[in-house]
Chain A
Amino acid sequence: MDAFLLQVLNGLDKGGAYALIALGLTLVFGTLGVVNFAHGALFMLGSFCAVTLQSLLTLERVVLDPERLTAWGTPMEIRTPYIVDWFGDFGMTLIDWSVPLAILIAIPIMLLLGVIMERGLIRHFYKRLHADQILVTFGLAIVLQEIVKSQFGANPIPQPAPAMFAGSADIGLMLGFAENAVVYPWWRIIYLMFSGVVIASVFAFLQFTTFGMVVRAGMADRETVGLLGIDIDRRFTIVFGLAAVVAGLAGVMYTPILSPDYHMGMDFLVLSFVVVVVGGMGSLGGAVAAGFLLGILQSFASMNEVNSLIPGIDQVVIYLIAVVVLLIRPRGLFGREGVMEN
Chain B
Amino acid sequence: MHYCGANREILLGSRIQFNSEDSQLMSKIDNSKRKFLKTSAIIGVGVSAPLIFTNAHAAYRNEPKGSTVTFGFNVPQTGAYADEGADELRAYELAVQHINGEGDGGMLNTFSSKALKGNGINGKKVVYVTGDTQTKSDAARASAKRMIEKDGAIMITGGSSSGVAIAVQGLCQEAGVIFMAGLTHSNDTTGKDKRANGFRHFFNTEMTGAALAPVLKNNYGTDRVAYHLTADYTWGWSQEGSIRKYTEAMGWKTVQAVKTPVGAGDFSQYITPVLNSGADVLVLNHYGKDMVNSLTQAVQFGLREKTVNGKQFEIVVPLYSRLMAAGAGEAVKGIFGSTNWHWSLQDAGSQAFVKSFGQAYGFPPSQAAHTTYCQALLYADACQRAGTFMPSQVGKALEGFKFDGLGNGPTEYRAEDHQCFKDVLVVKGKENPTSKFDVLEVVEVTPRAQVEYPASMLGGNLGPYNNG
Residue B221 at the chain A interface, CB threshold 8 Å:
no
- From B41-49, B64-72, B324-332, B397-405, give the one contacting chain A: B324-332
Majority secondary structure of chain B interface residues (helix, strand, loop or mixed) = helix
Tell which of B289, B351, B358 touches A156, judged by Cβ atoms closer than 8 Å. B289
Q: Which residues of A contact B258 (CB under 8 A)?
A: 304, 307
Residue B354 at the chain A interface, CB threshold 8 Å:
yes
User: How distant is A146 from chain B, measured CB to nearest CB, in Å?
Assistant: 8
Q: Which residues of B contact A155 (CB under 8 A)?
A: 83, 289, 292, 323-324, 326-327
The answer to whether B272 and A71 touch across the interface, beta carbons within 8 angstroms, is: no
- From A89-97, A232-240, A254-262, A282-290, give the one contacting chain B: A254-262
In the bound complex, CA of A13 to CA of B268 (Å): 10
In the bound complex, CA of A55 to CA of B407 (Å): 35
Q: Which residues of B contact A3 (CB under 8 A)?
A: 272-273, 276
Residue A138 at the chain B interface, CB threshold 8 Å:
no
A73, A302, A315, most chain B CB atoms within 10 A: A302
The size class of the interface chain A forms with chain B is 35 or more
Residue A263 at the chain B interface, CB threshold 8 Å:
yes
In the bound complex, CA of A180 to CA of B305 (Å): 10
Residue B306 at the chain A interface, CB threshold 8 Å:
yes
Residue B6 at the chain A interface, CB threshold 8 Å:
no
In the bound complex, CA of A71 to CA of B80 (Å): 28
Tell which of B83, B263, B327, B358 touches A259, judged by Cβ atoms closer than 8 Å. B327
Within 8 A of B (CB), among A290-311: 298-299, 302-304, 307
Tell which of A11, A74, A268 touches B358, judged by Cβ atoms closer than 8 Å. A74
Residue A162 at the chain B interface, CB threshold 8 Å:
no
User: How distant is B230 from chain A, measured CB to nearest CB, in Å?
Assistant: 13
The answer to whether A72 and B359 touch across the interface, beta carbons within 8 angstroms, is: yes
User: How distant is A267 from chain B, measured CB to nearest CB, in Å?
Assistant: 5
Residue B302 at the chain A interface, CB threshold 8 Å:
yes
Q: Which residues of A contact B433 (CB under 8 A)?
A: none
Within 8 A of A (CB), among B214-270: 256, 258, 261, 263, 265-266, 268-270
The answer to whether B328 and A158 touch across the interface, beta carbons within 8 angstroms, is: yes
The answer to whether A149 and B82 touch across the interface, beta carbons within 8 angstroms, is: yes
Q: Which residues of B contact A188 (CB under 8 A)?
A: 268, 300
Residue A331 at the chain B interface, CB threshold 8 Å:
no
Residue A57 at the chain B interface, CB threshold 8 Å:
no
The answer to whether B355 and A71 touch across the interface, beta carbons within 8 angstroms, is: yes
Residue A49 at the chain B interface, CB threshold 8 Å:
no
The answer to whether B330 and A160 touch across the interface, beta carbons within 8 angstroms, is: yes
Q: Which residues of B contact A184 (CB under 8 A)?
A: 301
Residue B421 at the chain A interface, CB threshold 8 Å:
no
User: How distant is B253 from chain A, measured CB to nearest CB, in Å?
Assistant: 16
Residue A134 at the chain B interface, CB threshold 8 Å:
no
B263-295 contact mask (Cβ, 8 Å, vs A): 1 or 0: 101101110110110000000000001001100
Within 8 A of B (CB), among A11-42: 11, 13-14
In the bound complex, CA of A183 to CA of B289 (Å): 25
Q: Which residues of A contact B357 (CB under 8 A)?
A: 72
**Contact A6-B275, Cβ < 8 Å, known A158-B296, A261-B80:** yes
Q: Which residue of A lies closest to B289 (CB)?
A: A156
A-B contact pairs, 27 of them (CB 8 A): A3-B273, A6-B275, A7-B269, A11-B269, A70-B358, A71-B351, A73-B358, A153-B83, A155-B289, A156-B289, A156-B292, A167-B302, A168-B300, A168-B302, A168-B305, A180-B306, A183-B301, A184-B301, A257-B266, A259-B292, A259-B293, A259-B327, A263-B79, A268-B265, A302-B270, A303-B273, A304-B273
The 10 closest A-B pairs by CB, nearest first: A72-B358, A168-B302, A158-B329, A154-B82, A302-B269, A6-B272, A156-B327, A185-B300, A299-B269, A10-B268
